[in-house]
């Protein structure tokens, strides 16, 4: 970094594509990423994807690739102060940059969606400040995939996607859990994001045959979908294979075990339900012969007081303690509170020295880095048959696959391996030998081969600043296949009769374009207003700042007389349902009723998915409202506009989210959606659509968008600005410049 906070040009090293040094930016948002030792299991999301990322970066670095890693900044005194730092050196030559979103605190992956728009803008800005755009982005996990997809739409950078774990696989498992028959809204949203990312990624990297075939098989794949490459991750074979100092580990276990010399059955996993640690305890506890034969040792992240833990981790940790108590497993089960990152190889090696086994009976383990770590340490394994272990075991032949739901399968496999010492030794030795295949060097070589497909021939990036560049030729909005225009109503579409006429004419010549109006007004009021202006009626009406959607029966703009009131349009009940499942409206209303800076708008402005207020406190009221809601553990989308309106909406329920929903329903790719507007309640729309138009009579609120290359600032006001912007994005005749 130089003093201005800009990254220096990455040094020119090997690993080139078309003669240029390859520059790769990885995006990984969730969990706690930092330089130095990672505290795996510190939160439910601090797990294998981070180990994978860091080791992949190191291997690619050694192969001469220039890289940066981007994650999310957050402030959380319990997790550590380092996560607030804007940037740090991750490893020599690689910078870790932390994007600031709008939520200051730590977010678990289920809540990350509320910050993704702000993170998108922060990433776009950061990328623009780099002396050179990356050749490729690599997104780790769904939410990072969405950011990469948006960068591809805005800047034309190709991206690689590694899922690490797919929502559809989890949903399938949850369906089989009593009381969980329907996937939670956050999981549904994640699957929708994954589907979009899968549709658009330039390359998908899977870790195993099972992941590529069965796990991705749960998503739809079009004929022209990009390839899925199987490139298994590696393992630091030296670290896990060469004898480590076991003293600290031995001491930490002695405190728990009556006979510490018995073979160890080792579980090492993040404390989350999916890992089924509880299932292993149940199986062990109910088999007296196994209890007599072996100790059970559980490492599940590091913890202080369980009461201070949150969410799923707290629940699983408490359940482990309760099970130990329930079965009275004292003396035969060890459950240390802490371990150091440095101790992990010694943990596996100590279990191997005891003649023990590694058990991972996860309901699904997409790949399972722990399997190859155990193999490298010479520890035979009992592995869930669901997921990556099928590949690993068929290569390493170092253990037994079991059905994780079947308790006796787990204990039978343990007896078989513990009692047959020859078999145990074959597994230990054979595994250690075969696991050499899983080297990061091999991974890096294949990675670079695959990556070269993306960088050659060189792709044109969309212009960073439109006024400095030729019109984006990659955009073919004028082509025959359909696109979607979502325009704000008051003071964008309406407000100038002559301009509206110009737009109406233009629309007649663009019949392939689907056209939606998005307004803060109620559907009925908006419809009446459109009629009174003789405006072309839209295919879709998004009203109440995005909270409601109505669909026209058929091409309404040519059949105006058949639709004389909004009741003839179909209300999108699914959208309303989806939104209300995402928030606690009454709880939000109760919190905001106590806020002296807000006055409630009349009843007709309130809706199932919208709470509306007046304020005289200016835009700074927005962070205050968010903070009050966050303190009550509530999430909502807060929209400020026209100097005195505050709309509080279900997360994702503003105009941009509604536009995405409409595009999905129409099967129009996100890359072909244009948003247009003039005021603060259009910010979400202009940020989330691939192409934006801010008309000349815009409010200062929209100035925040000036740095975004995907937003065009028209010179003409009202609907004439719409036409000008559309011509600009279509690469047509209007010779406008982008002005901030
Ligand atoms: O108490 C613990 C628990 C875990 N770990 C480490 O954390 C990593 C966990 O990785 P993994 O076993 O692969 O599981 P997940 O954390 O669930 O990782 C996800 O991402 C991985 C990388 O893509 C995939 O291999 C997994 O299947 C997928 O679930 C391993 O290196 C462990 O050694 C610790 O150090 N201490
Ligand atoms: O169980 P899920 O919801 O698929 O999540 C898997 C988790 O595993 C990880 O890959 C662990 O690092 C995280 O990215 C993610 O939080």
- Per-residue pLDDT tens over the stretch 312-370: 899 999 999 999 999 999 999 999 999 999 999 999 999 999 999 999 999 999 999 99
Distance of alpha carbon 543 from alpha carbon 242, whole angstroms = 64
Q: Which residues pair with 91 in a beta bridge?
A: 94
Question: 522 alpha carbon to ligand 2 midpoint, in Å?
Answer: 40
Question: Is 165 near ligand 1, meaning CB less than 6 Å away?
Answer: yes
Q: For residue 12, give the 3-state DSSP assignment.
A: coil
Question: 362 alpha carbon to ligand 2 midpoint, in Å?
Answer: 13
Q: Which helix (H) or strand (E) holds 633?
A: none
Token pair recorded at residue 328? 């009275």
Q: Which ligand is nearest to the CA of 388?
A: 1
DSSP string across 182-251: S--HHHHHHHHHHHHHHHH-SEEEESSHHIIIIIGGGS---TTPPPEEE------HHHHHS----HHHHH
Burial of 422 (0-12, 13-18, 19+ CB in 10 A): exposed
Question: Is 48 near ligand 1, meaning CB less than 6 Å away?
Answer: yes
In Å, how far are 413, 577, 649, 681 from 585, measured between CA atoms?
50, 13, 8, 20
Question: Is 301 near ligand 1, meaning CB less than 6 Å away?
Answer: yes
Query: 684: closest CA among 658, 712, 716?
Result: 658
Token pair recorded at residue 571? 């209300």
Distance of alpha carbon 159 from alpha carbon 136, whole angstroms = 5
Question: Is 269 near ligand 1, meaning CB less than 6 Å away?
Answer: yes
Query: 45: closest CA among 108, 100, 121?
Result: 108
Distance of alpha carbon 358 from alpha carbon 375, whole angstroms = 9
Question: Is 52 near ligand 1, meaning CB less than 6 Å away?
Answer: yes
- Residue 181: its pLDDT value, please? 57
Atom of ligand 2 nearest to the CA of 50: 12
Distance of alpha carbon 133 from alpha carbon 693, whole angstroms = 24
Question: 519 alpha carbon to ligand 2 midpoint, in Å?
Answer: 37
Burial of 724 (0-12, 13-18, 19+ CB in 10 A): buried
In Å, how far are 121, 484, 485, 660, 729 from 663, measured between CA atoms?
21, 7, 10, 5, 18
- The pick from 30, 42, 45 for probing ligand 2's pocket by mutation, whose C-beta has the most ligand atoms within 8 angstroms, reads 45
DSSP state for residue 607 in the 8-state scheme = B
Pocket of ligand 2 (CB under 6 A): 30-31, 45, 47-50, 109, 141, 164-165, 170, 274
Reading phi first (left if > 0) and then psi (alpha if -120 to 50, else beta), residue 562 is in alpha
**CB neighbour list of residue 514: distance below 8 Å, 6 or more residues apart:** 482, 483, 484, 485, 539, 540, 666, 668
Atom of ligand 1 nearest to the CA of 269: 3
Going by CA atoms, what residue is nearest to atom 5 of ligand 2?
A: 165
- Residue 558: its pLDDT value, please? 45
Question: 696 alpha carbon to ligand 1 midpoint, in Å?
Answer: 51
Atom of ligand 1 nearest to the CA of 38: 35
- The pick from 38, 141, 162, 384 for probing ligand 2's pocket by mutation, whose C-beta has the most ligand atoms within 8 angstroms, reads 141
Question: 377 alpha carbon to ligand 2 midpoint, in Å?
Answer: 24
Question: What does pTM read for this prediction?
Answer: 0.68
Q: Which ligand is nearest to the CA of 51?
A: 1
Atom of ligand 1 nearest to the CA of 47: 16
Question: Is 215 near ligand 1, meaning CB less than 6 Å away?
Answer: no
Atom of ligand 2 nearest to the CA of 48: 12
Q: Which ligand is nearest to the CA of 109?
A: 2
- The pick from 173, 212, 270 for probing ligand 1's pocket by mutation, whose C-beta has the most ligand atoms within 8 angstroms, reads 270
Question: 361 alpha carbon to ligand 1 midpoint, in Å?
Answer: 13
- Residue 326: its pLDDT value, please? 98
Atom of ligand 1 nearest to the CA of 164: 23
Token pair recorded at residue 219? 């998503």
Distance of alpha carbon 614 from alpha carbon 598, whole angstroms = 6
Q: Under a CB-based contact definition with an 8 Å cutoff, are residues 253 and 334 in contact? A: yes
- Residue 669: its pLDDT value, please? 78
Question: 272 alpha carbon to ligand 2 midpoint, in Å?
Answer: 9
Going by CA atoms, what residue is nearest to atom 12 of ligand 2?
A: 47
Question: Is 211 near ligand 1, meaning CB less than 6 Å away?
Answer: no
Question: 363 alpha carbon to ligand 2 midpoint, in Å?
Answer: 13
Q: How many CB atoms lie within 10 A of CB 79?
A: 17
DSSP state for residue 601 in the 8-state scheme = P
**CB neighbour list of residue 588: distance below 8 Å, 6 or more residues apart:** 611, 629, 634, 636, 648
pLDDT lower than 70: segments of the chain: 1-19, 179-183, 222-226, 456-481, 554-565, 707, 731-740
Question: 670 alpha carbon to ligand 2 midpoint, in Å?
Answer: 26
Question: 441 alpha carbon to ligand 2 midpoint, in Å?
Answer: 25
Question: 52 alpha carbon to ligand 1 midpoint, in Å?
Answer: 9
Q: Under a CB-based contact definition with an 8 Å cutoff, are residues 399 and 272 in contact? A: no
Token pair recorded at residue 1? 């970094």
Going by CA atoms, what residue is nearest to atom 35 of ligand 1?
A: 40
Distance of alpha carbon 716 from alpha carbon 146, whole angstroms = 33
Q: Under a CB-based contact definition with an 8 Å cutoff, are residues 263 and 354 in contact? A: yes
Q: Under a CB-based contact definition with an 8 Å cutoff, are residues 277 and 271 in contact? A: yes
Q: Which ligand is nearest to the CA of 344?
A: 1
Q: Which helix (H) or strand (E) holds 488?
A: strand 484-488
Going by CA atoms, what residue is nearest to atom 15 of ligand 2?
A: 45
Q: Under a CB-based contact definition with an 8 Å cutoff, are residues 458 and 18 in contact? A: yes
In Å, how far are 528, 585, 586, 588, 589 from 629, measured between CA atoms?
35, 11, 12, 7, 10
List, for residues 567-578, the tens digit of each pLDDT value: 778 899 989 988
Question: 191 alpha carbon to ligand 2 midpoint, in Å?
Answer: 13
Q: Under a CB-based contact definition with an 8 Å cutoff, are residues 559 and 536 in contact? A: no
Token pair recorded at residue 16? 């080139």
Question: Is 271 near ligand 1, meaning CB less than 6 Å away?
Answer: no
- Residue 740: its pLDDT value, please? 41
Predicted ipTM? 0.95
**CB neighbour list of residue 362: distance below 8 Å, 6 or more residues apart:** 269, 274, 275, 276, 368, 384, 386, 387, 404
- Residue 180: its pLDDT value, please? 66
Distance of alpha carbon 660 from alpha carbon 652, whole angstroms = 10
Atom of ligand 2 nearest to the CA of 47: 12
């Amino acid at each position: 970094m130089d003093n201005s906070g800009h990254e220096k040009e990455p040094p020119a090293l090997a690993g080139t594509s078309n003669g240029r040094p390859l520059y790769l930016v990885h995006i990984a948002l969730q969990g706690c990423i930092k330089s130095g030792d990672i505290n795996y299991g510190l939160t439910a999301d601090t797990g294998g994807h981070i180990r994978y990322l860091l080791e992949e970066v190191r291997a690619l670095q050694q192969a001469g690739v220039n890289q940066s890693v981007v994650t999310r900044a957050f402030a959380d005194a319990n997790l550590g102060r380092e996560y607030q730092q804007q940037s740090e050196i991750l490893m020599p030559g690689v910078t870790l940059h932390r994007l600031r979103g709008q939520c200051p605190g730590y977010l678990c992956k289920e809540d990350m969606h509320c910050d993704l728009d702000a993170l998108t803008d922060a990433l776009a800005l950061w990328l623009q400040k780099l002396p050179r755009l990356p050749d490729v982005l690599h997104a780790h996990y769904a939410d990072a995939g969405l950011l990469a997809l948006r960068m591809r739409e805005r800047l034309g950078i190709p991206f690689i996607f590694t899922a690490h774990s797919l929502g559809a696989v989890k949903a399938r498992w949850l369906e089989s859990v009593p009381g969980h028959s329907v996937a939670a809204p956050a999981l549904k949203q994640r699957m929708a994001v994954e589907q979009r990312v899968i549709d658009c990624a330039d390359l998908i990297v899977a870790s195993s045959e099972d992941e590529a075939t069965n796990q991705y098989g749960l998503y739809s794949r079009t004929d022209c979908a990009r390839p899925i490459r199987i490139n298994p991750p590696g393992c630091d074979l030296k670290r896990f294979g060469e004898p480590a100092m076991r003293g600290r580990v031995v001491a930490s276990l002695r405190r728990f075990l009556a006979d510490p010399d018995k073979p160890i059955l080792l579980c090492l996993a993040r404390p989350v339900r999916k890992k089924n640690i509880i299932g292993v305890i149940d199986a062990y506890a109910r088999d007296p012969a196994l209890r007599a034969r072996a100790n059970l040792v559980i490492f599940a992240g590091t913890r202080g007081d369980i009461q201070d833990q949150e969410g799923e981790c707290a629940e699983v940790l408490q359940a482990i303690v309760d099970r130990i108590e329930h079965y009275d497993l004292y003396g035969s089960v060890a459950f240390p509170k802490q371990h150091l990152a440095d101790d992990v190889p010694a943990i596996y090696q100590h279990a191997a020295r005891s003649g023990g086994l590694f058990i991972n009976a996860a309901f699904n383990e997409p790949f399972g880095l722990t399997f190859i770590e155990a193999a490298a340490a010479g520890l035979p394994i009992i592995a869930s048959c669901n997921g990556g272990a099928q590949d690993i075991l068929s290569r390493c032949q170092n253990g037994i696959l079991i059905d994780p739901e079947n308790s006796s399968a787990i204990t039978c496999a343990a007896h078989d391996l513990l009692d047959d010492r020859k078999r145990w030794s074959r597994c230990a030795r054979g595994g250690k030998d075969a696991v050499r295949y899983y080297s990061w060097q091999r991974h890096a070589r294949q990675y670079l081969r695959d990556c070269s497909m993306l960088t050659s021939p060189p792709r044109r990036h969309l212009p960073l600043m439109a006024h400095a560049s030729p019109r984006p030729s990659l955009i073919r909005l004028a082509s025959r296949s359909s696109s979607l225009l979502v325009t704000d109503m008051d003071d964008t579409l309406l407000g100038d009769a002559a301009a509206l006429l110009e737009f109406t004419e233009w629309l007649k010549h663009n019949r392939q374009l689907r056209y939606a109006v998005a307004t803060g007004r109620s559907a009925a009021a908006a419809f009446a207003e459109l009629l009174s202006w003789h405006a072309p009626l839209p295919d879709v009406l998004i009203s109440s700042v995005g909270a409601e959607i109505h669909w026209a029966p058929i091409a309404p703009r040519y059949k105006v007389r058949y639709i004389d009131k909004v009741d003839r349009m179909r209300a999108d009940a699914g959208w309303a349902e989806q939104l209300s499942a995402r928030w606690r409206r009454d709880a939000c209303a109760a919190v905001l009723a106590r806020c002296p800076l807000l006055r409630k708008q009349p009843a007709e402005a309130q809706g199932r998915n919208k709470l509306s207020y007046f304020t005289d406190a200016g835009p700074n009221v927005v962070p205050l409202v968010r903070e009050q809601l966050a303190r009550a553990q509530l999430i909502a989308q807060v929209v400020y506009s026209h100097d005195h309106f505050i709309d509080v909406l279900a997360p994702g329920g503003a105009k941009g989210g509604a536009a995405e929903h409409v595009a999905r329903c129409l099967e129009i790719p996100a890359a072909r959606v244009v948003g247009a507007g003039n005021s603060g309640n259009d910010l979400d729309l202009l940020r989330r659509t691939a192409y934006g138009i801010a008309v000349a009579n815009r409010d200062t609120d929209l100035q925040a968008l000036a740095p975004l290359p995907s937003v065009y600032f028209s010179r003409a006001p009202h609907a004439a600005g719409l036409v000008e912007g559309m011509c600009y994005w279509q690469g047509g005749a209007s010779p406008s410049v982008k002005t901030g």
